[in-house]
Amino acid sequence: MQNRTRTFLSFAVLAAVAACSPDNSLSPSGAAAPNASVSSTGQAMQFLHARVCPGAVVGTARCHSWVRVDAKGAPMATTTPSGYGPADLTSAYSIAANSGAGQTIAIVDAYDDPNAENDVNVYRSQYGLPACTTANGCFKKINQSGGTSYPKANGSWAQEISLDLDMASAICPNCHILLVEASSNSFANLSAAVDQAAKTPGVVAISNSYGGSEYSSETTDEAHYNHPGIAVTVSSGDNGYGVEFPAASQYVTAVGGTHLTRSGTGWAETAWSGAGSGCSAYITKPSWQTDAGCARRTVADVSAVADPNTGVAVYDSYAYRGSSGWMVFGGTSVAAPIIASVYAVANNTSAITYGSYPYSHTASLHDVTSGSNGTCGGSYLCTAITGYDGPTGLGTPNGTGAF
């Protein structure tokens, strides 16, 4: 395992990160709370960002994405992209360009994005990636039953969908993409969409960028994420220390988040303060997890960029809160489709047992060793350390060998 630390340690002191807010990053006055970031030159920058999806009630999930906003809380949309693009992400994680031929990634989200196919191809065209359309057989959109009668459109989830499709395109440009739209953000509908994705021929990875509070019957409901031979990734959450479902499932790869910057030697990462982590209240600990701090399932397993201050470029034209175009997104919603796409590039899912594979291939991961996502007595469950920790798991991809 290669150690990946960041030289700009002052960021940890500067970042009074709004992502740790339990609900959103907006102050009572309506102005978004500022977050510190560090440029490639080491200079501190201030950005504002806000949650994309509203809070979830019991039995439902919220998406795990954040968008950069202006002082009034409106998403900052531009005509040209800002934020990390495909070349940045494949460089940071040592993923071969133009990979993934013959593989299919499924994206599961709630509600409909009427512009999904158009928008992902604007993104791909901008970065010189091959077109992915219904006409050329690369793109397919279905509802949770496998049909083409789509659910009602929703602006916040449309942004989430654009984010997920763009990240899959960035990491695995030659993969086919299946978008499965759940009828609503209820766990019942989202899990039905996962089952539908899993029974679609050719799918090797399913990305889920959502979650909600744990509940006692999740021990039964997690069966919907049990699909041997398919890598199911789930974002760990954006509330900082604490565990959500379905990231808690023993059948998934729970994906934490990092703050990713350029360094003198390439790239550097620390734990993102918003990433979810900790001990599940209900789910049995899988045999491949041996950490001593949790009697049950520990979150996360691995991680990727998530801090909206070091966010990614996304194109979305379905206007939400008055904004459309190129925007900068963060959240563990970024990380989950990145990891699903790395699994697809690796083309090894038939040999893996749920999220176990990275645990026996840590040499192919970047170990993230600094940063934290909350207070838990200084434990590895909320603080990045050498080896396994909660916020970043075993680390971030260094090629595809751990997947």
Q: Residues 240, 274: contact at Cβ < 8 Å?
A: yes
Q: What value, to the nearest 5°, has the Cα angle with vertex 332 and ends 327 and 333?
A: 55
Predicted confidence at residue 73, as pLDDT, reads 76
User: What angle is formed at CA 390 by the lines to CA 403 and CA 168, rounded to 5 degrees?
Assistant: 40
pLDDT at residue 320 in the model: 84
What is the average pLDDT across 381-396? 98
Bridge partners for 351 per DSSP: none
**pLDDT given for residue 264 in this prediction:** 87
CA distances from 241 to 22, 219, 276, 306, 378 (A): 10, 21, 5, 15, 12
Lowest mean pLDDT among 67-71, 137-141, 182-186, 246-250: 67-71
The domain segmentation of the chain, as residue ranges, is: 2-397
| Residue 43, pLDDT above cutoff 60 | no
State the pLDDT confidence band at 321, using cuts at 50, 70 and 90.
confident
Name the 3-class secondary structure at 171. helix
Give the global pTM: 0.91
Element spanning 156, H or E = helix 155-171
CB 211 within 8 Å of CB 61: yes
pLDDT tens, residue by residue, 149-203 = 999 999 999 999 999 999 999 999 999 999 999 999 999 999 999 999 999 999 9
Q: Please give the pLDDT value at position 111.
A: 99
Nearest alpha-carbon partner for 51 in 184, 166, 170, 209: 209
Distance CA 79, CA 126 (A): 11
pLDDT band at 40 (very low <50, low <70, confident <90, very high): very low
Task: Please say whether the beta carbons of 304 and 335 come within 8 A.
Answer: yes
Q: Produce one character per residue of 59-98: b if its CB has 16 or more CB atoms within 10 Å, e if not.
A: ebbbbbbbbbbeeebbbbbeeebebbbbebbbebbbbeee
Tokens of residue 43, six digits: 């200079």
Look at the block and give the residue holding tokens 């994906």: 255
Omega before 246 cis (within 30°)? yes
Asked if 338 contacts 88 with a C-beta cutoff of 8 angstroms, the reply is no
2-397: CATH number: 3.40.50.200
Out of 22-36, 89-103, 126-140, 371-385, pick the least confident.
22-36
Of 107 and 44, which is predicted with more confidence? 107
